[in-house]
Copies of this chain bind each other. A is one copy, B any other.
């Protein structure tokens, strides 16, 4: 939102500037001859209009209109998200979403579901269709894998979240899954957003590699406008300049979504770091920053995984994440 403030004729800008700074606003003084005003600059937080209008000397507060009203409309509310809704201040334990990078067989899906359930997960994740940088990399087992996921999840009382990669894939994925996942590379694939939204299910919307928070929210608006039952945002790291972690996890954006915008946000520390040894502390950090849950990759045999093995947790690693999740649950009053 863009905000500009004009002052009444003759008003002293000094005290007004101090009062605006006291509200947490970064302001730049503007003038046109005797007429005075301020721009409100990033990274200012949202401040109630009445508080700004109440500052002595302020004549008018010109603002832009809402640009993602449907996303704004789910602020502070519980959003459908499979077995348990996602939302701020629900007084419930954080959500754990776990599973393999790709679903490799019915047997491994069952094993993964059993382990995930045993550690308190509510949703089983796993890729049937995998977005891969190279056309020659393993692309997922496709439709059969959707069936394996569903069967395994049902056997252990879990919901299913899995990625939809194409418009044609929306129907089968929506048939098998409780929650559709839109991956980072498709965050601004607007044709897919519209198709996925029309399925009427909740969507887990990953942030694109270099998306601003505003672009991310607008992608959510596409989904809700098309009919999605709810949007849960998923931060998985943006593109950074230091290869020592796979991506650059932006927990500032997580805090912003959770605490300033009231949106449900999940963090994926597996893709954020690409390093199994850093997943537990970053899962804990994500929950402390305001995430309603975490999503992690695990594999009973990380060395044998068909994709992303180096970042997959083994069962002991998943247990450590689950313990971190439970520890956060205990912090709530």
Contact = CB atoms under 8 A, between A and B. Distances in A.
Interface string A36-58: 11010111110000000000000
A21 B169 contact: no
A169 B191 contact: yes
A281 interface: yes
Interface string A101-131: 0000000000000000000000000000001
A326 B133 CA distance: 38
Contact of A62 (B22, B37, B67): B37
A100 interface: no
Contacts of A301: 22
Interface string A307-333: 001110000000000000001000100
A64 B29 contact: yes
Nearest to A224: B135
A98 interface: no
Contacts of A32: 60-63
Given A191-B165, A286-B285, A249 B250 contact: yes
Contacts of A19: 303
A90 interface: no
Interface string A269-280: 000111111100
Contacts of A247: 252
Contacts of A331: 327
A213 B242 contact: yes
Contacts of A131: 188, 190
Contacts of A20: 303
A310 B241 contact: no
A243 B243 contact: yes
Interface footprint category on A: 35 or more
Contacts of A3: 30
B258 A281 contact: yes
A25 interface: yes
B244 A256 contact: yes
Contacts of A248: 238, 248, 250, 252
Given A30-B2, A303-B19, A276 B244 contact: no
A218 interface: yes
Interface string A223-251: 00110000000000111111111111111
A239 to B, nearest CB: 4
A59 to B, nearest CB: 9
Contact of A288 (B212, B246, B287, B304): B287
B62 A30 contact: yes
B165 A251 contact: no
A281 to B, nearest CB: 4
Contacts of A259: 277-278, 281
Nearest to A216: B242
22 contacts: A2-B41, A3-B30, A19-B303, A22-B303, A31-B63, A31-B65, A32-B60, A42-B244, A43-B244, A43-B246, A43-B273, A136-B221, A189-B189, A210-B238, A214-B242, A214-B244, A238-B248, A240-B241, A247-B252, A255-B282, A259-B278, A284-B288
